[in-house]
Each structure stands twice: as structure tokens, then as C-alpha cells.
Structure 1
């Protein structure tokens, strides 16, 4: 009797296991699964490639704020504070700190959306292998954006921690908003550059020109090291069109309490968001043209 009950239980258990087994995915089902998560698969590829230089990302992210703070905030800051007699209203270290973080985020966006894009299309041609899968060009672009956004976030967090340790952020709680502002600033610079880089077929020094005649002036004339209002009026528009200036205004508002009207907050955020949207639209379009034709 006991053996019969045990045999019946085993048969029932075996039947349950058999009925619970799923049939193998068909080719179409597998293709659909890949298509649904194409951007995430591309992000995974980006992360694998990023392992090769993660030490550089972390090292630069840590050393860069230390060197800039020593040179600009501590060294030059002493001179500026003595010469101005407190004319800025705050110590120069507090004034320049948020701009240093934001300009570093902008530089990271420039790095990740120039030579990396060129490598994907031409030098290493890593964008073409996914073309034999259901992953679309738009998803390849999306995976790249997810990856570099993660880079911006890590860079901003490391920089923020160093600033906080040095006492460069007097309003620490609201100063945390400097991190998402930095990510938004980097994206508003990086996405238009990504769209432009995806159209380049031959490296003829375009990226060097971009760094010297676009990124560098944006950093110098965006109120980074001195108030934009101190420039002649004919030079101030360089700052106004720079997403860095809009981010710096917001960054100083959350870190040192510089007053910014609510309407201008909308303008600053809206301008950077608009650049992100335009850059993303054009990047998707250019990726499809390059990869599909």
C-alpha cells in the first residue's frame, strides 16, 4: 500500500515537472525578445568595452577635481579673494566649485561622443555587427546614450564628493542637485555632438577643432571662472548660447544660494532639455542612415 502511494506521488511529481516545462523559443520569439531589449544589449556591450578604461575614468574623475581645486579654488582663490575684497559675496572656492564640476561633465560628454562614435562606425566598426540581429540603429544609439549617461553620473558623483570633502559646497542638501544638473548639462552637450559625429566619415582633425574652437570658448565664456556680466556685452552672447552657462547658473543657485527667478529656472532647464531632444532626434536619424542607408 505504501509503495503504491509513493509510486503515485512520484508519477504526479514527474507529470507536474513535464507540464511545467516551456517549449524552446522559436526563432521569431527569440528575435522579438532581442528587439525588445536592443538598447540594453547595446549598453551591455558598451559596459564591456568600458572595462578597458574604467581605471582611467575613476582616476581622472578623482584627480581632476583635486588638481583643479588646488589650482583654481585654493591657489587662485586666495589671490581673487584678497584682490576683490569679497566682491563676489562668497569665497572664490565656493564660486568656482560648481562650474568646475559642470565643465568636467561637459568635457566627458565631448570625449564620449567624438572618437567613440568614430570608432563604432569606422575604426572598430562595432556598430555593424548588431545589424545582423533584430537590434535597430535607434537602439544602438540608445544603448550608447545609456552608457555615456552612466559615465556622466559616475563622474559627477566623484567630483561632488571631492568638492564636499573640501568644503566647497556650503549648501550640501540642495547641493546634491548639482549632480543631476551636471548630467543634464553633459547630455545637452553630448547629444548634439553625437549627432554631428555620426555624420563624419573621415577624421580630418574635426574633433580637435571642436575642442579648441567650440568647447574651450564655451568653458571660458560661460561664467565658469568669473561672472559673465563682467565681459563686454558683445561677448556675453557666447555664454548665453552655451548650455554650460545655463547649468552654471543653476549650479550656483543650489550650492551657494545665488538667486534665480523661477521663470529663468524654466528657461535654463528648458534650453538644455531642448538641446537634448534635438540632438537625440538627429542622432537616431543619422545612425539609421549610416547603418541601413
Structure 2
């Protein structure tokens, strides 16, 4: 471990220079943004395919059958019910995958990650800068899905309101934070595929995207509410269709606490990272 990494390790548990961390975070993010802005259309469309397939297969195909026999818990149709979940799903996938592959690319292929570790910035700023880039990635794709949702429903302000956007940003922060930690730990791209198969894919189907968690038996409900995506889907669904007094306000502090905890784990990982 070089002298600067040793200094970072010593500073990690000390007083956090908040202004310096803020400025360094923006510096790290700006470096990411220079790459992101050249690929905005690609990033926005990357996570759009799966939600569109789900909308066509489940929302329009299966949804027409479901609407004949039952009424969704929220929304006027099953298609409307799953659309907020599609927004959550797309933001999760791209925030996690884009962040993970960005770090892996620097570490395993371009071999430029050592230069990042040598920068005179706090480990927390390194993590937060990467997370901010992951949030932007997730929002790019999520807004593409939101446009699709508006086209299908005609409900503009259901999907574009402050509460909906706040929950969406927190969701991106959580999964970008997970992406940073995994990107720092994996030894190959095959390992990223394993995390995706055993973490992201199961959460896509079990995170309340296609069903209401309240309808589950208690044992399954406990498992489902251990997943952060569940809090996002239920909160987005409520923000889109229900009056504000029915909004699950507990979702916001839960997602925020998870994002903060991941930030300190990521900062610790950066302070001990060796390539």
C-alpha cells in the first residue's frame, strides 16, 4: 500500500472534511460525466428493452386477462399497476450494471484504476463520485421508461412529481452504491454475471414489480420486504396513483439509510483497495 493510501486509511475513521469531500466528489463525478455525455442515447436506451418486453408481455398480454377477473390494488389496470415497477426495475438495472462495469473496465482492462487511487481525495469522495455517475445513468434510462409510461397512460403528473422523482433518485443511489462495492471486489466479468444472476435478477421478480407485497403470506412478505427494490416499487406506485396521505413514508428513510450505509462500506473499501 502506498503512502497516500495509508493516509486515506488513517483519515477514514477521523473527522470528515465535508467541504473537501463535496468538491472532490464533484471532481470524480465530472470525470465520469465527460464519458457519460458522449453516450447519453446509448445509456438511455440500454435499460429500455427489458421493461418494454415486460410491458408488452405482462401489461398488455397477461394484463388483459387479469383485468377481466380482478382489479389491481393500485391503478386502473394491471398495465398501470406494473409501470412504476418498470421504472424501478430499469433504474436498478442500469445504476447497478453501469457502475459495476465502469469500475471493472478501469480495473481489469484499461488498467487506469491505480491512477484513481493515487488521487489526493478522500475515499468517501471516490465512492460518492462513482455513485453520482450511477444515479445519472439510472435516471437516463428511467426517464425513457417514464416517457413510455406516459404514452400508455396519458398520466403525465403521475410519473413526473417531486415524490416520485425523490424515490427514484434514492433507488438509483442504493443500487449504484451496491455496484461500486461489487465493482471493487470482483476479479473478472464472469463474477459480475454471478452477482447479476443471484442478486439483481431475483430482485427484479421478487421486489414487488409484478405483484402487491401485501397480498403475500406473512413468511414470503418478510422475505420480500428485505429487498430494497420492494420499498421503491411500493413507494413509486403510491406516488403515481394514490393520495399523499396513503404514501408509505417509511420507504424514504429506509432507502436513505441503506444508501448511507453503502457509502461508508464503499469508502472503507476504497481506503483498503489494492490493485
Q: TM class, shorter-chain normalised?
A: 0.7 to 0.9
Q: How far did residue 163 of structure 1 move?
A: 1.0
CA contact (8 A) 2:100 2:180 kept: yes
Distance in 2 of aligned mates of 1:222 and 1:39: 31
CA contact (8 A) 2:72 2:78 kept: no
User: Please, which of 165, 190, 193 is the counterpart of residue 205 of structure 1?
Assistant: 190
CA contact (8 A) 2:184 2:269 kept: yes
Distance in 2 of aligned mates of 1:74 and 1:173: 19
**Structure 1 runs of 4+ with >6 Å offset:** none
Residue 124 of structure 1 corresponds to 110
Distance in 2 of aligned mates of 1:36 and 1:87: 44
Change (3 A) 1:62 1:222: closer
Change (3 A) 1:228 1:173: closer
Q: How far did residue 137 of structure 1 move?
A: 3.8
Matched, 1:271 2:257: no
Distance in 2 of aligned mates of 1:258 and 1:230: 21
Secondary structure (helix, strand or coil) at the match of 2:219 reads coil
Matched, 1:231 2:216: yes
Distance in 2 of aligned mates of 1:161 and 1:191: 26
Residue 253 of structure 1 corresponds to 238
CA contact (8 A) 2:171 2:232 kept: yes
Which gives a bigger RCO, structure 1 or 2 (Cα 8 Å, sep 6+)? 2
Q: Scaled by the length of structure 2, what TM-score is found?
A: 0.79
User: Please, which of 149, 155, 159 is the counterpart of residue 135 of structure 2?
Assistant: 149
Residue 219 of structure 1 corresponds to 204
Distance in 1 of aligned mates of 2:181 and 2:143: 26
Q: How far did residue 143 of structure 1 move?
A: 2.0
Residue 92 of structure 2 corresponds to 106
Change (3 A) 1:113 1:147: closer
Count of residue pairs brought into register by the alignment? 255
Distance in 2 of aligned mates of 1:119 and 1:181: 29
Unaligned runs of 5+ in 2: 1-19
CA contact (8 A) 1:218 1:242 kept: yes
Q: Deviations over 1:182-211 (max 9, x none)?
A: 2211212321342243233x2273322222
Change (3 A) 1:207 1:277: same
Q: How far did residue 239 of structure 1 move?
A: 1.2
Change (3 A) 1:92 1:35: closer
Change (3 A) 1:217 1:56: same
Q: How far did residue 228 of structure 1 move?
A: 1.9
Secondary structure (helix, strand or coil) at the match of 1:177 reads helix
User: Please, which of 214, 225, 231 is the counterpart of residue 240 of structure 1?
Assistant: 225
CA contact (8 A) 2:127 2:266 kept: yes
* Range with greater deviation from structure 2 (278-287 or 70-79): 70-79
Q: Which has the larger radius of gyration?
A: 1
CA contact (8 A) 1:94 1:170 kept: no
CA contact (8 A) 1:65 1:163 kept: no
Change (3 A) 1:66 1:128: same
CA contact (8 A) 1:195 1:280 kept: no
Unaligned runs of 5+ in 1: 1-33
Secondary structure (helix, strand or coil) at the match of 1:128 reads helix
